[in-house]
Copies of this chain bind each other. A is one copy, B any other.
Amino acid sequence: MANFSFSMFPNENFLDLRLYQYGWEACAPLHSFGPSVRNHYLFHYIISGRGWLDSTNRDGKTHKHHLSQDQGFLICPQQVTTYCADKSDPWKYVWLEFDGLRVEEDGSVWADYAVTGNFANIAYKEAKKYGEISLAASSEDKNHTYIPRQDQLKLDPQASYFYYCANNTIYGTEWQYVPDTGDVPIVCDMSSDFLSRPVDVSKYGIIFGGAQKNLAPAGLTIAVVREDLAGHELPFTPLMMNYKTMIDKDSMYNTPPCWCIYMLGLVLEWLDSKGGVEGMEKIKHSKAALLYDVLDNSRLFTCPAQPGSRSDMNVTFRSASGELDAKFVQEAVAAGFTNLKGHRNVGGMRASIYNAMPVEGVEKLADFIREFDKNT
């Protein structure tokens, strides 16, 4: 049988490229190279535009592309600019702080942060360098096993923005609702569940996400920015960290990460062939339900993430002992399932089932868990 990697970073170990060959038939990136016309323009493919992603080459030809309202990947009001840049992961925190949404006349910035996991916590700590940052909610009291409810959020109606991280990869939790913050712009890190479901962009001020989970190889960040929020940078904001620079230059102030953008184009084509984000939402939910169902009905395993907060992208589970967890991981590897060991902060196991993971891979893992549970 084929091997399956359940990794936090599917793009880090080439496994995803093998999955492209195996399950991502529409992508076939390994066989599509060469000086074809299509590749030629795709490699030039720059993301910009007003409410959609364009691909533009240096000859000035523009190819309206992929993430447009028409294609249905995002529901975008017209004042939104979607752009990309060559940074991944924590860059985006910095970026955001530097752009300092709604800086007050005295130069101060304040914002509310919901800390529901590791990356939200990094963002929260980084933000404190630049303004008065309040904890709108923290799930640390229960080791980040839940997402706060709307009535648990302590929101300041005068805040510059409210920040949350949509999916917490380490803890296996995911926000199932978009918080109501009144007029306060919502800033959301969607790194690990971007394009796994429809998103109503009009509810957000800024959405950003590293590409390395559902979108493209590591090295690319996508940001969707409400244009009136750009251009309010703090005085020491570097040119390259100012959203306005990127918007004005169509994401091309510097040489963009062309390969990642090219791959993003292929991934979006593949996503389209799967029914777009609506199609992906059904697939990812059925994949996750398959695992949660087996785990909830097992003798040995429990899921730390509370029902109602469970992630469809990262399914965390554990047995009663570290030894048994280790035995499970070891036997799983022998059976062809890799990267199931949980993050060192929490132990246990984690199956990352991003968009690229085929249903078959999840079915086989569910079977394996069931057998292990029966025979151990």
* A contact residues vs B (CB 8 Å cutoff): 9, 11-14, 17-18, 30, 33-35, 39-40, 43-44, 58, 86-91, 93-94, 97-98, 122, 126, 129-130, 210, 212, 217-220, 235-236, 238-241, 253-260
**Looking at chain A's contact residues, is the secondary structure mostly helix, strand, loop, or mixed?**
loop
Nearest Cβ on chain B to A29's Cβ, whole angstroms = 9
Given A14-B35, A238-B126, A259-B219, check contact A254 B43 (CB 8 Å). no
Q: Give the contacting residue for A240; candidates B40, B90, B253; CB below 8 A.
A: B90
Within the assembled complex, what's the spacing in Å between the Cα atoms of A70 and B209?
Answer: 40
Nearest Cβ on chain B to A60's Cβ, whole angstroms = 13
Are the C-beta atoms of A33 and B35 separated by less than 8 Å? no
Q: Smallest CB-CB separation from A218: which chain B residue?
A: B255
Are the C-beta atoms of B43 and A255 separated by less than 8 Å? no
Within the assembled complex, what's the spacing in Å between the Cα atoms of A7 and B217?
Answer: 25
Q: Give the contacting residue for A12; candidates B14, B44, B220, B236; CB below 8 A.
A: B44
Q: Smallest CB-CB separation from A98: which chain B residue?
A: B238
8 A-B pairs in the complex with CB atoms less than 8 angstroms apart: A12-B58, A14-B35, A88-B254, A89-B254, A94-B239, A210-B255, A218-B255, A219-B258
Q: Smallest CB-CB separation from A29: which chain B residue?
A: B33
Q: Give the contacting residue for A219; candidates B14, B210, B220; CB below 8 A.
A: B220
Are the C-beta atoms of B90 and A12 separated by less than 8 Å? no
Are the C-beta atoms of A218 and B86 separated by less than 8 Å? yes
Kindly list chain B residues whose C-beta atoms are within 8 Å of the C-beta of A89: 253-255
Chain copies in complex: 2
Are the C-beta atoms of A217 and B14 separated by less than 8 Å? no
Within the assembled complex, what's the spacing in Å between the Cα atoms of A73 and B46?
Answer: 34
Q: Give the contacting residue for A88; candidates B86, B97, B129; CB below 8 A.
A: B86
Are the C-beta atoms of B33 and A17 separated by less than 8 Å? yes
Within the assembled complex, what's the spacing in Å between the Cα atoms of A220 and B235?
Answer: 27
Within the assembled complex, what's the spacing in Å between the Cα atoms of A14 and B45?
Answer: 12
Kindly list chain B residues whose C-beta atoms are within 8 Å of the C-beta of A258: 11-12, 217-219
Kindly list chain B residues whose C-beta atoms are within 8 Å of the C-beta of A87: 86-87, 91, 240
Given A12-B58, A87-B86, check contact A257 B219 (CB 8 Å). yes
Q: Give the contacting residue for A218; candidates B13, B14, B88, B256; CB below 8 A.
A: B256
Beyond A14-B40, A218-B257, 7 extra complex contacts between A and B, CB < 8 Å:
A12-B255, A12-B258, A18-B34, A86-B257, A89-B254, A98-B238, A219-B257
Nearest Cβ on chain B to A326's Cβ, whole angstroms = 16
Are the C-beta atoms of B30 and A14 separated by less than 8 Å? no
Within the assembled complex, what's the spacing in Å between the Cα atoms of A128 and B44?
Answer: 33
Q: Give the contacting residue for A253; candidates B44, B58, B90, B239; CB below 8 A.
A: B90
Kindly list chain B residues whose C-beta atoms are within 8 Å of the C-beta of A218: 86, 255-259
Kindly list chain B residues whose C-beta atoms are within 8 Å of the C-beta of A40: 13-14
Nearest Cβ on chain B to A215's Cβ, whole angstroms = 12
Q: Give the contacting residue for A257; candidates B34, B39, B88, B240; CB below 8 A.
A: B88
Given A43-B12, A89-B254, check contact A240 B94 (CB 8 Å). yes
Nearest Cβ on chain B to A95's Cβ, whole angstroms = 9
